[in-house]
Amino acid sequence: MSWGERVDDPDSMSGKPATTLSHEQPEVDPSSPAATWGWGFLLACLILFAVVTVPVIVDGAPLLDDFGRCVDPQKAGNWQEHWELQGVFRPATTLEIVVTNGLCRTVPFSFVILIPWLLTIGVAFLTRGFLGEIGVASPWREIGAGLWLLAPLGTETALRPATIHVTLGLGLALVALWSFHRGNLFLGALLALGSYLSVEQTILALPLAAYMVSPRDKRLQAVTSTVVLSVVVTLAYSLWGGTTFGLAVSLPQRLADVFRDVEEYAILPGIGLGAQSIPAAVRWAFPISIVVLAIGVIAGWQLGPRLLHPAPSRMRWLGMRHVAAALALLVLINLPVALDYPHQHSPRIFQPSWLAIVIFAAIVGSQTRWRHQRLVGATAGALIAGALLSLALSSWVRVETSALVEDAMKRIAAETPPGGVVAICGRRRTLVQPAPYGDFSVHEFMGRPDEAYEYYTGKTAEIRVGGYAAESNCPDTTGADVVFDFNELVDR
């Protein structure tokens, strides 16, 4: 059931195991039409991705946890509290804190946002290289890489420093699998460990993925090393995982939680695939959105015959066995989410699944003979246009929200004495409409507004907030120096 095997004999066409393995990329002339169209597609995706995301970089505003990572680490007892809450769980977040804190005090925050943005682009090129390594030829290796960039609501990992660990972990996982495919077990295991310590959704999935891509004579060692590391990391998280992230839950309770609110399992893929954000973006940008969708359909209709054709690869698709393996991999990617209750629905949680989906799509696409290429291309063009609209809506909401929050903090500072007490009534979840699901639609008054207040004004204050998800519309106003109505506070 391995990918990247060369078809050298007639038996392999009947589903019997091939006798040799290919560790070389398909021999495709870089000047061939397939490579040219593939690179053209990837370049177009890269440009479109940059156009809709750069406004957030230029705005350069922190988001939620980013504020605390800028202003809190220097405070007495902060690191001790961090270790008590998090323990050894996901140590890559400690790297995020150090990097964010060190840079945001010396350079504009735009430079901090550039880190996850560049990592996202880096994962795109790693995806292209990995697809080529396992035998997928142009243009499909570039199609897979381009689609990674166009994840609906992918802004949440591409433009948020507090989610660097997600993109970093996925990048390490790709290079680990690349190493396993080449038979380099030690490097593969080392990179797999780095991935485990960055994003927990790879802990259960990577052993199966390693089996699927490793040479036959190295499969057992690859699986054994990744499984052993998975067990060690899981035990460490369970024993010294701190008091947050639901890590103190017993194993029987965690297994029981898998079957609680099972209807919510449809929410995460729906959000990640744009079921809510794409229609919202079409309404938001109407009538321009109709033009964008029309351009996508026309471009797909014209380019379908040039892109949608089987690639001359050395790998083979074995049918239902690989389909079952792909589905099993998706289940293992999302099992840590199921074990965590309440189940999370943030778009960043879907990114590992999105990466697996685009890789599988490139593999299947390269082996499929498309009968109605123009129709398939037009449909794909419409979906790509919808994903771009979703990314644009997410970016616009983030820029508008950060501007409103900054203005609100400065208004509070103008009417509040240093170290004063502020009460805010009537908080709502979003500041602008329509808004996509996820952290890019919320604001700092939903978290710890005192951190954002200190970041924007250099002052400190106790900020009490009532309203959305609070016990009452107004917080305790006892001793408050000033009381604000939330809608008036954020009204520009």
Digit-coded pLDDT (tens) for 153-209: 999 999 999 899 999 999 999 999 999 999 999 999 999 999 999 999 999 999 999
30 DSSP assignment: T
Name the residue with tokens 């947050």. 244
Contact in structure between 85 and 134 (CB atoms under 8 Å): no
Q: Using pLDDT thresholds of 50, 70 and 90, give the confidence band for residue 6.
A: very low
Q: Which amino acid is at 234?
A: T
In the chain, what is the straight-line distance between the N-terminal and C-terminal CA atoms, in Å? Answer: 59
pLDDT surpassing 80 at residue 83: no
pLDDT surpassing 60 at residue 242: yes
Contact in structure between 466 and 425 (CB atoms under 8 Å): yes
What value does the mean pLDDT take over residues 413-427?
A: 90
Query: CA-to-CA distance for 393 and 413, rounded, in angstroms?
Result: 30
Instruction: Please state whether the peptide bond connecting residue 336 to the residue before it is cis, i.e. omega within 30 degrees of 0.
Output: no
Q: Which amino acid is at 177?
A: L
- In the prediction, which pLDDT does 106 show? 87
Query: CA-to-CA distance for 94 and 239, rounded, in angstroms?
Result: 19
Query: CA-to-CA distance for 67 and 98, rounded, in angstroms?
Result: 13
What value does the mean pLDDT take over residues 48-62?
A: 94
Lowest mean pLDDT among 16-25, 250-259, 299-308: 16-25
Q: What is the dihedral of CA 332, 334, 340, 342, to 10 degrees?
A: -150
Q: Using pLDDT thresholds of 50, 70 and 90, give the confidence band for residue 248.
A: low
Mean residue pLDDT of the chain comes to 85
Q: Using pLDDT thresholds of 50, 70 and 90, give the confidence band for residue 21.
A: very low
- In the prediction, which pLDDT does 30 show? 58
Q: Confirm whether pTM is higher than 0.75.
A: yes
Query: CA-to-CA distance for 339 and 241, rounded, in angstroms?
Result: 15
DSSP string, 178-190: HHHHTT-HHHHHH
Q: Using pLDDT thresholds of 50, 70 and 90, give the confidence band for residue 394.
A: very high
Query: CA-to-CA distance for 416 and 400, rounded, in angstroms?
Result: 24
Lowest mean pLDDT among 2-16, 116-130, 205-219, 412-426: 2-16
Element (H, E) at 84: helix 78-86
Strand 462-467 relative to strand 482-485: parallel, antiparallel, unpaired?
Answer: unpaired
Which residues are 427's β-sheet partners? Answer: 467
Instruction: Please state whether the peptide bond connecting residue 10 to the residue before it is cis, i.e. omega within 30 degrees of 0.
Output: no
Of 217 and 491, which is predicted with more confidence? Answer: 217
Percent share of the chain, pLDDT over 70: 85
Burial class (CB in 10 A: 0-12, 13-18, 19+), 35: middle
Nearest partner of 305 among 42, 39, 43, 33, judged by Cα: 33
pLDDT tens per residue, range 24-54: 444 555 557 778 888 999 999 999 999 999 9
Q: Using pLDDT thresholds of 50, 70 and 90, give the confidence band for residue 314.
A: low
Burial class (CB in 10 A: 0-12, 13-18, 19+), 475: buried
What value does the mean pLDDT take over residues 118-146?
A: 94
144 DSSP assignment: H
Q: Using pLDDT thresholds of 50, 70 and 90, give the confidence band for residue 138.
A: confident
Q: Is 463 helix (H, G, I), strand (E, B) or coil?
A: strand
Q: Is 465 helix (H, G, I), strand (E, B) or coil?
A: strand
Which residues are 422's β-sheet partners? Answer: 463, 482
Number of C-beta neighbours around residue 459 at 10 A: 16
Lowest mean pLDDT among 223-232, 309-318, 354-363, 407-416: 309-318
Q: Is 91 helix (H, G, I), strand (E, B) or coil?
A: coil
What value does the mean pLDDT take over residues 282-302?
A: 94
Name the residue with tokens 């778009």. 347
Contact in structure between 422 and 461 (CB atoms under 8 Å): yes
Burial class (CB in 10 A: 0-12, 13-18, 19+), 478: exposed
What value does the mean pLDDT take over residues 450-466?
A: 90
What value does the mean pLDDT take over residues 256-274?
A: 80
The residues near 385 (Cβ < 8 Å, ≥ 6 apart) are 292, 293, 295, 296, 297
Query: CA-to-CA distance for 275 and 285, rounded, in angstroms?
Result: 16
Contact in structure between 391 and 52 (CB atoms under 8 Å): yes
CA-atom Rg of the chain in angstroms: 24
pLDDT tens per residue, range 86-115: 777 888 888 888 888 888 888 999 999 999
What value does the mean pLDDT take over residues 270-281?
A: 92
Burial class (CB in 10 A: 0-12, 13-18, 19+), 46: middle
5 DSSP assignment: B
